[in-house]
Amino acid sequence: MKRVVQALEARVLPVAPPVRPAVLRLVTGGWTAYYLSRRVDMLRSIHRGDPKLFDPVGPCRLLNSPLPPLLADGIIYAELVASAAFTLGLKHRVVGPAHAALLLWTMSYRNSWSMIFHNDNNLVLHTAVLGLTPTADALSIDAIRSDARLAPELLDWRYGLPSTVINAVTTATYLVAGIAKLKGPLGWSWADGESLRSQIAADGLRKELLGSGAAPLGVQLYEHTGLFRLLATGSLALELAAPIALLDRRVAKAWAAGAFGMHWGIRALMGITFRHQMSGAMFASFFPVDNLRTERPRG
């Protein structure tokens, strides 16, 4: 029994150096700062939208009506500053939770205007994990200030936990998406490809009629039903089998590569851009991002 507990502990709470979560902080924080800074104008425009279309989600459900636009703008600017400070690892104990809360609010508010986009869920969830765990003990201003070293030679389960939790959260979201397809009106027949083909057609039609243009590849391949069967089966398997990625590091890498490819495939066929997923930042936790040469446990 003790062996089982120890094995489980090693799997769930593996020891790691502080560089491991620090790299994830740099990747995720850097991506967030870049992503939001490119969307300030779009977000400001949303803040000035028709108040009758406000349909709050997440923490924004506390609101009965939209915030004054200038206040909503101000929260974005505050989040931009927080994301920069988070990425640099400055006063992480305060900035980490503040950044996580501000990003949660910003993205929830963005999704509170009659349409929920599902490409930012993991960004918000990963940031919550990284903001609430010790991810700035290396490669950060805090680390330099505390002992003048960018990469302290330590090993501790606290540094292994963030990537474990992030991997679990990521695979859980894919599992939920897979179950959604099975519980939908099509059930297992979703995998026969006809539904995916129709979805791509419906999406392409909307894009054509609303002025942005359908993805040319999706239009060209529309008649190839067999290909859509293959793609539907593959993507459904990838979603339902996502938790298996937690059992083995090589399987995890293969799964992450598959999911990464799936999002690029969606981009090619449908013109839908899942930016966080396609950047690769979302899957960084599935790959070794540190050098495990250090040996001294902390404490």
Partner 1 sequence: MTPDGRDKLMALTASAGLLAAVLTPIRQHWCEAPRDGFPLSCYPMFTAKRRRHGSVTYLLGTDANGERRLLHYSYLGGGGLNQVRRQLRRIVAEGRADEAAAIVAAALEATPRRRDRYVTRVHVVTGRYRYGDFFAGQRDPASEVVHSTAAVDKRGTLPRSLDRQQHDEAPANEGMQPSG
Asked if residues 242 and 282 have their Cβ atoms less than 8 Å apart, the reply is no
> What is the Cα 125 distance to its own chain's centre?
7
User: Does 118 interact with partner 1 (rule: CB under 8 A)?
Assistant: yes
Closest alpha carbon to 252 in 129, 121, 159, 164 = 164
Backbone torsions φ then ψ of 155, nearest 5 degrees: -135, 130
* Other CB atoms within 10 Å distance of the CB of residue 71: 10
Nearer to partner 1, 79 or 120 (CB): 120
> Applying CB under 8 A, which of residues 157, 192, 253, 258 lies at the interface with partner 1?
157
User: Does 16 interact with partner 1 (rule: CB under 8 A)?
Assistant: no
Q: How far is the CB of 4 from partner 1 (least distance, A)?
A: 15
User: Does 38 interact with partner 1 (rule: CB under 8 A)?
Assistant: no
Stretch of 67-75, 84-92, 116-124, 286-294 contacting partner 1, by CB under 8 A = 116-124
List, in order, residues 6 or more apart from 51 with CB less than 8 Å away: 65, 66
Distance CA 196, CA 191 (A): 8
- Locus of tokens 């290909």: 227
Nearer to partner 1, 144 or 205 (CB): 205
The footprint of partner 1 (CB under 8 A) covers 9, 12-13, 42, 45-46, 49-50, 52-53, 57-58, 104, 107-108, 110-111, 113-118, 120-121, 124-125, 128-129, 132, 157-158, 161, 164-165, 168-169, 172-173, 175-177, 179-181, 183-186, 190, 195-196, 198-199, 201-202, 204-212, 214, 219, 222, 299
